[in-house]
Structure 1
């Protein structure tokens, strides 16, 4: 382990530098979130490079050895992005954010204690891996290979990011089974019927398997933390039915990586009414149907299909929207595998949507639900 402390600069100078680092960290984080939606925006790419360059410069003034190799390697990577030698991707964004989070944890530790302990060997290993990516990009134009190498570094930075394992899917299903059983819903109930209907739908794509159970697990936790305003049975059926309409979409559209056309967007959006139609003539399940119809509505009125605002959206739909979004952010398709994304990144993106696409109140409850996970994550990542 290495120890960094700085006795050469006065505390006022150090505090000023840390405040500047904090400001540019926030700019970098916001820019990365915007780039996920506008990956070809040159001004955003240049802004990101400048912020990272400034952070590196501030750290260089105090000779902040725990972070300098990492920041230099990331700056080299961003130079290639700025020059157009590599395409922006969510995977690259994850890598940059994880490095910045690692550096931020070092800075926070230094601010609190006046020194920071860090694993020199790990910092060196990570820096070399990122430098190797830069070298591979310069030597080869193989985008798939570059993304694969980025994924490898991400898994070193955040060990919780790994290929989805069958065991974790089984654990999730067992959690849901136990939860519903405790509520008195036996496997002979309609809940199990709708669950079984979704099994073949999820088998259509390697990226969907186990998705409904994962979403329901989060939805049940959120509902419970929020005082259980939604009947769990209605919530469970809504979760299992909400994407049923996707079964009738062409797989090449569902797996498309490039920008969707207006007609393709409209086709995908039609899955909401198609899914809700499954419950149209079942009187008992009308609350579940309402949840399904509204789960893509947005707090600010920008959602679909009706453009409802937060006060008009039922709690079940608000819960489902957050659970659905979180699952989509933490389980991204990559290289014919199913790779999780950093949880910390997904949490930040969910929070970025608070009061916009997602209910601010329920995002606060979501933060309560994931706080134990984030605390465990931060404890592991500081070493």
Structure 2
């Protein structure tokens, strides 16, 4: 029988934090098992371990009175139990669902711990599909998983045309400046091995999204903003911008200064006023919680909304990179769609279109 969702609330703050700590321990184990099962093996012991992790999470949720989590974990646990009993075969799509639902639960817990108003509307809307998934036949399972993953990736849209070479959109008297900006971006990228290829990935994604906009932005201005948006980080201590974990108040104050330095440089160079505004505002959020000026909604220029998405997408896919290219894209775009307070919804829809097209192209050529 399907379990009914409860309103997200913190009944016992200490127990709630205990549950968060437990989930933070379980999540890497779950990710590792899903990644290992992604090699096409039928390892029954790994499936059994996944089941035990979900069973433990559900038990801890009950014990710690975090009851609103239980229905979602229960549905996944039921699905894994059927796979464990050989009623269904494990497949990559099941792993996608496990990771994406777990990610969304973790994000909801984080929001609540940070004092934000909990929004479980997406999870609630998915629960009937999760319950049906747990009861699906072997023939129904792949399509049911695909539909649920698509829901978590945001609104569907028709595929976009394949983008032309980036260089085709750039040129004119601004070319020399753009070459200079790119050289600075390359210097920053080379400081961190994990950033290899980051600049070109960001530029390609930004131009693909911009090409779909009803009123596209200047490609030169977008390119300049992509190249320059993090250059101010070079003026901060390297220990700060490579720091893992939560930043202190002083750390955040220093970090908030970096868009102004790069934006100020662009503003002093004739012809780059639009790019300067994009860079200055790219850490602002739709709900006003960003920096440096706490702008919100329509106060933030379109270019900054675009740049914020591109920057965030690179960060979240890098975070999930160990799961493989396809899965890191899936988890990245699902995570951004769940952050509706931060990103402009219209630009988010365009990102969804680009990502869907990329995934379709990857499937067509046989990639994972």
TM-score by length of 1: 0.57
Please state whether the residue corresponding to 1:207 is helix, strand or coil.
helix
Please state which structure has a larger fraction of its residues in strand. Answer: 1
Q: Does 1:301 align with 2:294?
A: no
User: Does 2:328 align with 1:342?
Assistant: yes
SS at match of 1:297: coil
CA gap 1:68/1:183 in 2 versus in 1, 3 angstroms: closer
CA distance in 1, matches of 2:331, 2:82: 29
State the match for 1:216 in structure 2: 203
Shift of 1:279: 1.4
Aligned to 2:74: 54
Offset from partner CA, 1:13-47 (integer Å, 9 cap, x none):
xxxx5xx48x77x99xx99xxxxxxxx93344434
Tell me which of 336, 351, 355 is aligned to 2:337: 351
Of the three residues 268, 285, 296, the one matched with 1:281 is 268
Alignment deviations for residues 162-192 of structure 1 (CA, whole Å, 9 cap, x no partner): xxxxxxxxxxxxx88x323345458943212
CA distance in 2, matches of 1:184, 1:228: 20
Which position in structure 1 is the counterpart of 2:194? Answer: 207
Query: How far apart are 1:68 and its partner, in Å?
Result: 8.3
- Asked if the contact 2:169–2:219 (Cα under 8 Å) also holds between the matched residues in 1, the reply is no
The 8 Å contact of residues 180 and 186 in structure 1, kept in 2 or not, is answered as no
The counterpart of 1:116, out of the listed 139, 142, 154, is 139
Is structure 2 residue 17 aligned with structure 1 residue 41? yes
The residue correspondences of 1:255-270 to structure 2 (distance < 5 A) are 255-270=242-257
Cα distance 1:233–1:68, how it changes in 2: closer, same or farther (>3 A)?
Answer: closer
Distance 1:338 1:249 in 2: 31
Q: What does 1:187-206 align with in structure 2 at a 5 Å threshold?
A: 188-206=175-193
- Equivalent residue, structure 2, for 1:251: 238
Note the residue ranges of structure 2 that are not aligned, 5 or more in a row: 10-15, 24-60, 103-125, 143-162
Instruction: Name the residue aligned to 2:299.
Output: 312
Distance 1:179 1:227, change over 3 A: farther
Q: Note the alpha carbon deviations across 1:301-359, whole angstroms, 9 max, x for none.
A: 1111111111111111111011110001111398xx998662111111110122x1100
Q: How many Å separate the matches in 1 of 2:270 and 2:74?
A: 60
Are the equivalent residues in 2 in contact too, given 1:198–1:240 (CA < 8 A)? yes
Are 2:358 and 1:373 equivalent residues in the alignment?
A: yes
Deviations, residues 216-258 of structure 1 (Å, cap 9, x unaligned): 1111111111134311101110110110011122222222223
Moved more, 279-288 or 47-56: 47-56
Q: Is the 8 A contact 2:305 2:347 kept in 1?
A: yes
Q: d(CA) in 1 for partners of 2:333 and 2:74?
A: 26
Query: What is the deviation of 1:64?
Result: 6.9
Q: Hey, what does 1:66 align to over in structure 2?
A: 88
CA RMSD of aligned residues (A): 4.3
Maintained 8 Å contact 1:332/1:339: no
SS in 1 for 2:319: strand
Q: Distance in 2 between matches of 1:312 and 1:234?
A: 19
Asked if the contact 2:72–2:130 (Cα under 8 Å) also holds between the matched residues in 1, the reply is: no
Q: Give the Cα separation in 1 of the matches to 2:185 and 2:170.
A: 22
Deviation (angstroms), 1:54: 1.5
User: 1:212 Cα shift?
Assistant: 1.9
Q: Would you say the 8 A contact 2:267–2:276 is kept in 1?
A: yes
Distance in 1 separating the partners of 2:364 and 2:139: 14
1:122 is aligned to: none
Q: Tell me, what secondary structure is at the counterpart of 2:139?
A: strand
Q: Is the 1:106–1:116 Cα contact (8 Å) retained in structure 2?
A: no
Contact 1:229–1:315 at 8 Å: present in 2 too? no
